[in-house]
Amino acid sequence: MQAITIFRDGCQQVVDQGTVVGVTQYLCATLPDLPSSSSLARCLLNLLQTLAAVTMYARDGMRDILGTGLIAKVVGLLGNVPGGSAIPGIASETSTDIVRQALRLLWHCGNNPKGRVETLQAEGVATITPFLRHTDAKVREAAICALNVVSLETNGKKDVVKHSLEEIARIIHSDAETTYLQETCVQLCRNASELPAFRFAFARHVLRSVWLLEKVYGTAALAAISPLLGPKEDMETRVQAANVAQHFLTSGNIAFNGDDIRVPPVCPLSHVNHPPAFSFEECIDIIHNCVELLDAAGASAAECLKALLSQEKPRQELAKLLKARLIVPSDGQKAFVESLVRS
């Protein structure tokens, strides 16, 4: 079966002749138990390779897999691999190949909404995430691709926040990973960022990596880090958030666009190329927070205010807040703030 499905027309014949039904029934009967001998391990590997190829290349390749319980069985198999590393009693290379093909099958089935739902119902995100630390780069790539497709679902985004955030950030920062793996991680972050909880958690986790926030979100990173400027955060976090805000508000050579699907949304779209206007419209209390941080964050908060108050509407807003004493600068910063309002 594995040899037949090397070619696309072979994949289609396996589907058309009903062979996928038999393979699925066999695997459902034997999984999630680990293979007990090298011959059974080889059999499992070849059948997983067969289904991984069929689900990728054949028309209706998932038809006889979805709804059978096989996806839950495959997730269970991965969960039984000790420590997310190797299957005992068989060659390490074979074990690695079995894990990779199982992850490829979940990835390909995840291109179908029903497949994604079945993976999530089997707690697939929690099971797949440990394989992001596997010693084999291709296993790590297959794992991140499987997570990427399930992150299209709202529940998938929630599970990624819960189980995968730390590993995703580690991979993106690593110098040892392939470009493909890192770019898939970035796309996964963009998918999951449609859930505000992920967006804010990710921004907090990578706050010191300004280049990464710029790459993933562009100008819209300001909305993601804005809550970290607030008084509920510790001062170290607030100061670092002010440094990030300064970068986006004052740098002339940043990648404004970031994610072309605009997460979070940008309206009007022209604000993408004008971060001060975007900040004033989308970042709640940013002027208030920057005034509060003038003493602690120094130059960063001052530069943020200068950029924001280069527009007439924010200056009018700050003047109203000062008059109503809703913003009260410290004695040392009062003259500076008043000069910005007048300028």
Q: Is the pLDDT of residue 340 over 90?
A: no
Q: Please say whether the beta carbons of 147 and 164 come within 8 A.
A: yes
Q: Is the peptide bond before 32 cis (omega within 30 degrees of 0)?
A: yes
C-alpha dist (Å) from residue 276 to 98, 303, 337, 342: 52, 11, 17, 18
Lowest mean pLDDT among 226-235, 252-261, 291-300: 252-261
Q: Which CATH number fits domain 1-145: 1.10.287.70, 1.20.1250.20, 1.25.10.10, 1.10.3720.10?
A: 1.25.10.10
The mean per-residue pLDDT over the stretch 285-301 comes to 92
Taking residues 10-16, report their average pLDDT.
Answer: 96
pLDDT at 257 > cutoff 70: no
Q: What pLDDT, on a 0 to 100 scale, did the predictor assign at position 267? A: 75
CB 139 within 8 A of CB 181: no
Can you tell me the distance from the alpha carbon of 157 to that of 247, in angstroms, rounded to the nearest whole number?
28
Q: What is the mean pLDDT of residues 219-239?
A: 94
What lies within 8 Å, CB to CB, of 328 at 6+ separation is none
pLDDT at residue 269, rounded to an integer: 76
Does 124 score more than 90 pLDDT?
yes
> Tens digits of per-residue pLDDT, 126-173?
999 999 999 999 999 999 999 999 999 999 999 999 999 999 999 999
Give me the pLDDT at residue 177, please.
Answer: 93
CA distance 156 to 193: 11
What tokens does 315 get? 């200056």
Helix (H) or strand (E) holding 43: helix 38-57
Q: What is the mean pLDDT of the chain?
A: 92
Residue 174's identity, in one-letter code, is S
Do residues 297 and 339 touch, judged by C-beta distance below 8 A?
no
Q: Residues 162, 195: contact at Cβ < 8 Å?
A: no
More confident residue, 87 or 103: 103
> Which distant-in-sequence residues (6+ apart) come within 8 Å of 131 by Cβ?
78, 84, 99, 103, 139, 140, 142, 143
- pLDDT at residue 130 in the model: 94
pLDDT of residue 256 exceeding 60: no
Is the model's pLDDT at 273 over the cut of 90? no
Q: How confident is the model at residue 253 (pLDDT cuts 50, 70, 90)?
A: low
Mean pLDDT throughout 218-242? 94
Half-sphere exposure of 83 (CA within 13 A, CB side): 6
Domain ranges of the chain: 1-145, 207-343
Tens digits of residue pLDDT in 23-62: 999 999 999 999 999 999 999 999 999 999 999 999 999 9
* Structure confidence at residue 261 (pLDDT): 66
Q: Does residue 301 have a pLDDT over 60?
A: yes
Q: Are 112 and 74 in contact (CB under 8 A)?
A: no
Q: Which helix (H) or strand (E) holds 175?
A: none
Residue pair 202/162 in contact (Cβ under 8 Å)? The answer is no
Q: Check pLDDT > 70 for residue 272.
A: yes
Q: Is the pLDDT of residue 85 over 80?
A: no
Which of 155, 149, 241, 145 is CA-nearest to residue 195?
A: 155
**168-224 pLDDT per residue, tens:** 999 999 988 999 999 999 999 999 999 999 999 999 999 999 999 988 888 889 999
If pLDDT is split at 50, 70 and 90, which confidence band does 266 have?
confident
| DSSP assignments along 254-275, one per residue | S-S---TT-SS--SSGGGGG-H
d(CA 295, CA 151): 41
What tokens were used for 76? 């269970």
Q: CB of 188 within 8 A of CB of 129?
A: no
Confidence at residue 203, expressed as pLDDT on a 0 to 100 scale: 95
* pTM exceeds 0.75, yes or no: yes
What proportion of the chain, given as a percentage, has pLDDT over 70? 96
pLDDT band at 276 (very low <50, low <70, confident <90, very high): very high
Q: pLDDT exceeding 90 applies to what percent of the chain? A: 79
Residue-level pLDDT at 329: 86
Long-range contacts of 235-240 (CB under 8 A, 24+ apart): 235/296, 237/204, 237/207, 238/289, 238/293, 238/296, 238/297, 239/293, 239/296, 239/297, 239/300, 240/207, 240/208
Work out the angle between the directed axes of helices 235-250 and 299-308 (0-180°, nearest 10): 40
Predicted local confidence at residue 264, as pLDDT = 67
pLDDT band at 255 (very low <50, low <70, confident <90, very high): low
